[in-house]
Amino acid sequence: MYAARKRILELTGRMKLDDRYFTQTLLPDYVEQHPRATADWDVVFDDRGNFIEPHTDRNVPLGTVEVRQYLGERATPKAPIALNAGSQSATTGPENRYSAVLFIEKEGFNALLAQARIAERFDIAIMSTKGVSTTAARLLLDRLAPRIDKVLVAHDFDVSGFSIFGTLGSDGRRYRFHNDVHIVDLGLRLADVEAMGLDPEPVETSGEWSSRAATLATHGASAAEINFLRHRRVELNAMPADAFVRFLERKLTEHGIGKVVPHDDVLEQHARQVLVRALTNKALEATRSKVEEDAASILLPSKLHQQVVAVLKRHPDIPWDIAVANLARKALHEEGSS
């Protein structure tokens, strides 16, 4: 939309282009009417729900990218280094895993961030919301605050963006913080807009501007920024995808965000655990042939299909493979008891 907006406004003589009209009407119509020109386009939409598989605990957000990946129609971003089973340390929360949180004021960047592997390359947790932070988001940041170094906020360069940044770690009517959250403003700021030559869009201001200007100043806006924002704004989406990734990379690097490496005792403990698993697998592999022979000699239940159906009738909440596994273990127990 941002690539086409300037030209559309020039052609129509309008001051503003509604994003819903563009994404839901203009864009689909254009793709349908110009199949050859858009043959290599990959248009994706943010998720608006979830698809949950039974038994596997797999939750698929109902976004274009996620559904395509689930159906095998779109490649899932691959890790630069393949991790063998048992190679990764089991962690819960930030300890030995990440030391900062990247908060983005809007959703819709998840696919791009995953493709650029921002979270993995910078060892940073990513949180996004649709506008002002929710009570749940504030609760999470409050609990994480003593265990992380900082929360870095990327926001639109507009009045709402400054408010989102300025109130993220502040007490409100619905939530009061128990910990100090170290919050850092990544931008967009006026210097970013000017450095990247981003096109602003007009803003229709209503009401008393002086009170908004005072609020902006409270949240850290300069006099030049306040003057700019009275009639103009610039969204994060104004940056092309590659520019947005470079923007984040530069900002995160400037604020010292990088790979997490735990203390020596943690590294040694994990190394020993990896060796234990490797030696265990080696020992199991040495006895594999004998184990396979023993398993083949065990008599499985007769009429296995009928027994599986009977188990599922008694326990309709389990899948067929769990039913088979339970019957196999029963056969093993009976073999050992005879």
Asked if residue 80 belongs to a domain, the reply is no
Residue 166 lies in a domain: yes
Distance of CA 170 to the CA centre of its chain: 24
| Amino acid, single-letter form, for residue 122 | F
Do residues 282 and 186 share a domain?
no
Burial (Cβ within 10 Å: 0-12, 13-18, ≥19) of residue 65: buried
Same domain, 277 and 201: no
pLDDT band at residue 227 using 50, 70 and 90 as cut-offs: very high
Is residue 28 situated within a structural domain? no
> Whole-angstrom Cα distance, residue 191 to residue 170?
26
Domain assignment present for 35: no
Q: What is the per-residue pLDDT for 131?
A: 56
Residue type, 22: F
Mean pLDDT (whole number) for 245-262: 93
pLDDT digits over 15-29, tens only?
788 777 887 788 888
Q: Looking at the structure, do residues 119 and 255 belong to the same domain, yes or no?
A: yes
Q: Which residues pair with 232 in a beta bridge?
A: 202
pLDDT of residue 239: 92
**Closest listed residue to residue 124, CA positions, set 263, 255, 238:** 255
Instruction: Let me know if residue 251 belongs to a domain.
Output: yes
Residue 333 scores a pLDDT above 70: yes
CA-based nearest residue to 155, from 135, 184, 196? 184
Give the pair of three-digit tokens for residue 245. 């990734």
Q: Which two tokens stand for residue 137?
A: 């988001």
The total number of structural domains in the chain stands at 3
257 and 116, same structural domain? yes
pLDDT tens across 24-44, in order? 788 888 888 998 998 888 777
Residue 333 falls inside a structural domain: yes
Residue 143 one-letter amino acid: R
DSSP 25-87: IIHHHHHHH-TTTTTT--------SEEE-TTT--EEE-SHHHHHHHTTSSPPPPPSSPPPTT-
The verdict on 126 and 247 lying in the same domain is yes
Judged against a pLDDT cut of 80, whether residue 251 lies above it is answered with: yes
Mean pLDDT value of segment 77-87: 55
Residue-range definition of the domain harbouring residue 279: 264-289
In this structure, are 271 and 247 located in the same domain?
no
Same domain, 285 and 323: no
pLDDT of residue 226: 93
Asked whether residue 307 falls in the same domain as residue 268, the answer is: no
Q: pLDDT category, 81, cuts 50, 70, 90?
A: very low
Can you tell me the mean pLDDT for 169-188? 85
Do 306 and 279 fall into the same domain?
no
Query: What are 276-310's pLDDT values in tens digits?
Result: 888 988 888 889 889 889 899 999 888 999 999 99
Shared-domain flag, residues 118 and 136: yes
In a domain, 65, yes or no: no
What is the reported pLDDT for 82? 46
The verdict on 278 and 198 lying in the same domain is no
Question: φ and ψ at 18, to 5 degrees?
Answer: -75, 125
pLDDT at residue 195 in the model: 94
47-51, 134-138, 170-174, 281-285: least confidently modelled range: 47-51
- Asked whether the beta carbons of 216 and 159 are under 8 A apart, the reply is yes
Q: Does 303 map to a domain? A: yes
State the Cα–Cα distance between residues 111 and 128, nearest whole angstrom: 12
Considering the domain architecture, whether residues 145 and 203 belong to the same structural domain is answered as: yes
Which tokens in the block code for residue 232? 């103009």
**The pLDDT of residue 115 is above 70:** yes
Residue 229 sits in a domain whose CATH number is 3.40.1360.10
Which tokens belong to 237? Answer: 């989406």
Instruction: Write down the residue that tokens 């009570």 correspond to.
Output: 135
**pTM metric for this prediction:** 0.70
Per-residue buried b or exposed e for 8-34, using 16+ beta carbons within 10 Å of the residue's own CB: ebeeeeeeebeeeebeeeebeeeeeee
